[in-house]
Amino acid sequence: MNGLKLAANYLRIGIMNEFQYRANLYIQILQTFIALGTGLIGLSLVFDQVDQLGGWGKADLLAVMGVFTIMGGVIRAAIQPNMERLMDEIREGTLDYALTKPADSQLLVSVREFRLWTLVDIVVGVIVLLVALSQLNWRVDAWSVLGFLSSLVMGALMTYCFWLIITSTAFWFIRVNEIANLFEGLYAAGRWPVTIYPNWLRYGLTFLVPVAFAVTVPASALTGRLTLQTWLGALALTATLFVVARMIWRTGLKNYSGASA
Amino acid sequence: MSSVISISKLAKHYQVPEREAGLKAAAKGLFKRKYKTVKAVDGISFDIQPGEVVGFLGPNGAGKTTTLKMLTGLLHPTSGEVSVLGFEPAKRPHDYLRQITLVMGNRNQLSWDLPALDSFDLQRAIYSIPTDEFKKTRDEFIELLDLKDLVQKPVRNLSLGERMKMEFVGALLHKPKILFLDEPTLGLDVTMQKRIRTFVAEYNQRYGATVLLTSHYMADVEALCRRVIVIHHGQLLFDGDLSALVEKFSAFKTVGFTLENPAADLSQYGDVVSVDGSRVTMRVPKEKTSAVTSRLLNDLSVEDLTVEAAPIEDVIESVFSVRKEALE
Amino acid sequence: MKRYFDFYASMMRMSVLEQWQYPVANYFYMIGMLAEPVIYMVVWSAVANQQGGSVGGYTPGSLAAYYIVWTLVRQMNIAFTPYGWEWRIRQGRLSMSLMRPIHPLHEDVAFFAGWKVVMIVLWIPLALALSFFFKPDLHPTLLEGIIFFVSIWMAYLIRTITLSLLGMVTFWTTRVSALFELYFAAELIFSGRLVPLSLMPEWVQQAAWFMPFRWAFGFPIEALVSSMTVNDLFAGLGMQLAWVFFGILVVSQVWKVAIRQFSAVGG
């Protein structure tokens, strides 16, 4: 459990660091509210015209937006900064410092950065979600809460694996920042349930970029749409992605050490 | 008046927020800031004649770059007069900018991904150089710096030194009358430094251009400049011939000799700087030089005795250390 | 005049050569920007379908046309962001530009204009692919085509002007990202980027007439996609022209003050 201790340590340092830049908190709050505001405007424009979209009502879509905001906060707080740092280090050849430390390299490169203030997104996302649930007259039941929490964790894990795979390609292709941009664009698709997209796009958003599992599936759990098959599918995909990501990381690392030696 | 650069009582003062240590102080600073005045340049005056190559010296933070920026029009002086080629640089008239150039060792202007030739063409357009003249100058410089095989390669594939040579070509294509060179040889190896120096000297002679040069490498200054201007803490310390600077500020001379019996105790004569086999180098206070040499010749069996002025680096260093105490 | 022509030709040529070195990176960049309009397109097509085939005068086919043209206009829209200004001040690049006997803004305009030539060429296959998937319904007249071509370059100028004004704020403070975020949000709503303005409430449409955003984005698309009257087309072009002139006037005044500030504190 050395790894967990290490992660906790980096987390502590990251938080202390963030406290030095408190002005960023206000900027983050503003950004979160702008994103929320434009999201709500988009929703209300749609619901000016119709009262449901692909079987999802207004409150359902509000719940999707809540989950989207929460997951976005998790990605920007913990996943993206680590992966962006890793990309830079691979490109500039300064990864060696991290590799010489006595810990699992994958774990190490995944926990070094933490952006505390983006947690504002999570707080706001939770509030939006609660508002949506109250509009839905939602009643607590074990299956949907467990389904929601577990699929949220799996969604975050899948997103992490996806990022790691993309980032690891930097061992072979130098300019991968554009691919990172691509993800940001595609993640925005999660604002809407993936069921409204045409088939080819839906499959892409489910299996190539796990947006469906990151946002739509957890939201389905809360709105009573999650089936056991989907849940098991998510579990299987998480495990597969994790194994694949680790393999690609290992191969890339070997490639890297070979080149710099 | 015949001087091309003329500055008098030039000063630049900044208001900078005062930072105190600690979180509490930092939080307080969000609402009310205390300022203090930093005198980056504090009343300096000098004139430079056409065709002169002047070394502009001073430790980091002495005000060299600030002065250069005021001369090139990037900074407005707080007070004092600046006149270059009869222009007021702070107004940055295009007619003025067309006659000067600024080369900085750590900045690059050339497009990273393209052959330097393409960037040169852009310079032609920017400075509206007639095409024939442009080609002639370009080829002349390429020849002088031995760059013929490199101008077709993307700049990113060139070495640091080769890139710097290209920078010089690009910066001089419009044949400026005044060159402001800020650490132009920074980070280059000795051969490359020499190459750049020769080029600057050649340009100065061919076109009668005036050069103001800052450099940490005294070799640059020694090779190029007869005159040096030394500033420290924003004030002028010295303005005159390089040899006079050495004469005025060097407190020591370097005495070198070969000793037949290396075991002898030398500490009574002066500080031993180095012993290389039987060759000894000593540092001796200037006024004691003749006394020490005659004693050395009397007491010991000494051969090949030489007396030299202290290295310029040491002189500069002693200038700054002496004056700092005097100023504070 | 000849001097500026020569400079623009030279700078644009260089920028084309530079950008042509990275077709793959440029492609990924473009594809990354495709997600946004595709999402809008899909959502609004779904809405149109549910409403019996059209929403606010747009059918799924014309929505597809709107958002495919959108992707080109979005490319034309790229200019130096305020973050770019901050970066070049910090890097000392602005100082180097100021040493040249040509206004730094000319460098910006020419550099990005050259880049756009590359982007337009790269965009064509993407547009064909998108058309294959989304079946746009697009029948422009010759006049609309000409107006479109002129207006995308005007749009580029207008956005360069507004972003440059924001960029100059960085001469005074480095904490301007809040301001930028607000600008981008306003742009999203009032430009026709989120949805065609005709789907917006009446007051938004009216307000958009008096703001620069629509003239820097939505107008060229509407000119090509929706059937505007000849009068409306020329009125729009006139509005763009007015914004360009007004903008140049404001920029040159603000520039004077900004550069005074810059040379007071040093670059």
- Average pLDDT in the A9-37 region? 85
Closest CA to A65 of A187, A189, A191, A159: A191
Q: Do residue B119 and residue C14 have CB atoms under 8 angstroms apart?
A: yes
Instruction: Tell me, rounded to whole angstroms, the distance of Cα A164 from its chain centroid.
Output: 12
pLDDT 10s digits, B198-248: 999 999 999 999 999 998 888 889 899 999 999 988 999 889 998 888 777
Cross-strand partners of B272? B282
For residue B328, the distance in angstroms to the closest alpha carbon of chain C comes to 26
Of A142-156, B260-274, B309-323, C113-127, the poorest mean pLDDT is in: B309-323
- Average pLDDT in the A61-73 region? 95
Residue A258 has a pLDDT of 52
**Contacts with C, B 54-73, CB within 8 Å:** 66, 69, 72-73
Q: Do residue A185 and residue C33 have CB atoms under 8 angstroms apart?
A: yes
Q: Do residue B73 and residue C263 have CB atoms under 8 angstroms apart?
A: yes
- Average pLDDT in the A50-79 region? 93
Q: Is B309 helix (H, G, I), strand (E, B) or coil?
A: strand
The reply to whether B317 falls in a domain is no
Give dist(CA B119, CA B157) in Å, integer.
15
For residue B203, the distance in angstroms to the closest alpha carbon of chain C comes to 20
Q: Do residue A182 and residue C32 have CB atoms under 8 angstroms apart?
A: yes
- Chains touching A by CB (3 or more pairs below 8 Å): C
Question: How far, in Å, are B212, B232, C29, C80, C91 from residue C87 at the CA level?
Answer: 29, 31, 20, 10, 6
Any idea what the Cα angle at residue B266 is, between residues B265 and B271, rounded to 5°?
Answer: 140
Interchain CB contact of C133 with A (< 8 Å): yes
Give dist(CA B71, CA B87) in Å, integer.
10
ipTM value, please give it.
0.87
For residue C266, the distance in angstroms to the closest alpha carbon of chain B comes to 6
Q: For residue C182, give the nearest of A34, A48, A201 by CB distance.
A: A34
For chain B, list the strands marked E by DSSP: 5-17, 35-48, 53-57, 79-84, 100-104, 178-182, 210-214, 227-232, 235-241, 252-259, 271-276, 279-285, 302-309
H-helix or E-strand spanning residue C23: helix C23-50
Instruction: Confirm if B282 and B273 have CB atoms less than 8 A apart.
Output: yes
Give dist(CA A35, CA A14) in Å, integer.
25
Give dist(CA C153, CA C53) in Å, integer.
33
Same domain, B165 and B279: no
Q: For residue C263, give the nearest of B75, B121, B125 by CB distance.
A: B75
Same domain, B237 and B261: no
Same domain, B233 and B299: no
DSSP per-residue letters across B143-183: HHHT-TTTTTSBGGGS-HHHHHHHHHHHHHTT--SEEEEES
Q: Do residue B128 and residue C100 have CB atoms under 8 angstroms apart?
A: no
Residue C209 has a pLDDT of 94
The reply to whether B33 falls in a domain is yes
pLDDT 10s digits, B178-189: 999 999 998 888
Residue A174 has a pLDDT of 62
Same domain, B155 and B302: no
Residue B328 has a pLDDT of 41
% of chain A exceeding 70 in pLDDT: 97
- Average pLDDT in the C46-62 region? 91
The reply to whether B51 falls in a domain is yes
Give dist(CA B122, CA B182) in Å, integer.
23
- Average pLDDT in the A8-20 region? 83
Q: Do residue C263 and residue B74 have CB atoms under 8 angstroms apart?
A: yes
The CATH number assigned to the domain holding B260 equals 3.30.70
Q: Do residue C102 and residue B74 have CB atoms under 8 angstroms apart?
A: no
What integer best gives the mean pLDDT of chain A? 88
Sequence ranges of the domains in chain A? 2-260
Same domain, B164 and B292: no
Mention every residue, 6+ apart, whose C-beta is less than 8 A from residue C132: none
Instruction: Tell me, rounded to whole angstroms, the distance of Cα A207 from its chain centroid.
Output: 15
Give dist(CA C14, CA C11) in Å, integer.
5
Beta-carbon contacts below 8 Å between B and C = 75
Domain interval for residue B302: 252-309
Same domain, B97 and B144: yes
Interchain CB contact of B281 with C (< 8 Å): no
Same domain, B52 and B129: yes
Report residue C264's pLDDT band, with 50, 70 and 90 as the boundaries.
confident
- Average pLDDT in the C94-118 region? 94
Of B282-291, C11-20, C75-84, the poorest mean pLDDT is in: B282-291
Q: For residue B126, give the nearest of C98, C100, C267 by CB distance.
A: C100
Q: Is B254 helix (H, G, I), strand (E, B) or coil?
A: strand
- Average pLDDT in the A178-203 region? 85
Task: Return the residue in C34, C44, C47, C195 with the most chain A beta carbons within 10 A, the one to mutate for interface testing.
Answer: C47
- Average pLDDT in the C238-258 region? 96
β-pair type (B79-84, B5-17)? antiparallel
Position A261 pLDDT exceeds 50: no
pLDDT 10s digits, C193-233: 999 999 999 999 999 999 999 999 999 999 999 889 999 99
pLDDT 10s digits, B283-324: 888 788 888 888 888 888 788 888 887 777 777 777 776 555
The reply to whether B211 falls in a domain is yes
Residue B323 has a pLDDT of 53
Give dist(CA B213, CA B206) in Å, integer.
18
Interchain CB contact of C174 with A (< 8 Å): no
Same domain, B240 and B262: no
Which residues of chain C lie closer than 8 angstroms to B125, CB-CB? 6-7, 9-11
% of chain B exceeding 90 in pLDDT: 51
Instruction: Confirm if B254 and B307 have CB atoms less than 8 A apart.
Output: yes
Give dist(CA B59, CA B47) in Å, integer.
21
Position B263 pLDDT exceeds 80: no
Q: What are phi and psi of C209, to 5 degrees?
A: -60, -30
Q: Please, what is the end-to-end C-alpha distance for chain B in angstroms?
A: 37
Q: Do residue A198 and residue C51 have CB atoms under 8 angstroms apart?
A: no
pLDDT 10s digits, A239-253: 999 999 999 999 988
Of B83-87, B283-287, B320-324, C42-46, the poorest mean pLDDT is in: B320-324
Same domain, B152 and B102: yes
Interchain CB contact of B129 with C (< 8 Å): no
The reply to whether B319 falls in a domain is no
Which residues of chain B lie closer than 8 angstroms to C95, CB-CB? 69, 74
Task: Return the residue in B15, B69, B75, B172 with the most chain C beta carbons within 10 A, the one to mutate for interface testing.
Answer: B75
Report residue B45's pLDDT band, with 50, 70 and 90 as the boundaries.
very high
Residue C78 has a pLDDT of 92
Structural tokens at position C91: 């890097």
What integer best gives the mean pLDDT of chain B? 86
Which residues of chain A lie closer than 8 angstroms to C31, CB-CB? 182, 185
pLDDT 10s digits, A100-129: 777 888 988 998 888 888 989 999 999 999
For residue C7, the distance in angstroms to the closest alpha carbon of chain B comes to 5
Same domain, B207 and B86: yes
Same domain, B20 and B68: yes
Instruction: Give the largest CA-CA distance in chain C.
Output: 63
Task: Return the residue in A182, A209, A216 with the most chain C beta carbons within 10 A, the one to mutate for interface testing.
Answer: A182
Long-range contact set of residues B189-196: C-beta below 8 Å, sequence gap at least 24: B189/B161, B190/B219, B191/B161, B192/B160, B192/B161, B192/B164, B192/B165, B193/B217, B193/B219, B193/B220, B194/B219, B194/B223, B195/B145, B195/B161, B195/B165, B196/B164, B196/B165, B196/B168
The CATH number assigned to the domain holding B200 equals 3.40.50.300
Tell me the one-letter amino acid at B278. S
Q: Output A53 or C32, whichever has higher pLDDT.
A: A53
Report residue B274's pLDDT band, with 50, 70 and 90 as the boundaries.
confident
Same domain, B140 and B219: yes
For residue A186, the distance in angstroms to the closest alpha carbon of chain C comes to 5
**Contacts with A, C 67-96, CB within 8 Å:** none
Q: Enter the pTM of the model.
A: 0.85
Sequence ranges of the domains in chain C? 2-265
> Chain A residues within 8 A (CB-CB) of chain C?
23, 26-27, 30-31, 34, 37-38, 41-42, 45-46, 48-50, 52-54, 175, 178-179, 181-182, 184-186, 188-189, 191-192, 196-198, 200-201
DSSP per-residue letters across chain A: -HHHHHHHHHHHHHHHHHHT-THHHHHHHHHHHHHHHHHHHHHHHHHHH-SEETTEEHHHHHHHHHHHHHHHHHIIIIIHHHHHHHHHHHHHT-THHHHTSSS-HHHHHHHS---GGGHHHHHHHHHHHHHHHHHTT----HHHHHHHHHHHHHHHHHHHHHHHHHHHGGGT-S--HHHHHHHHHHHGGGGS-GGGS-HHHHHIIIIISTHIIIIIHHHHHHTT---HHHHHHHHHHHHHHHHHHHHHHHHHHHHHHHHH-
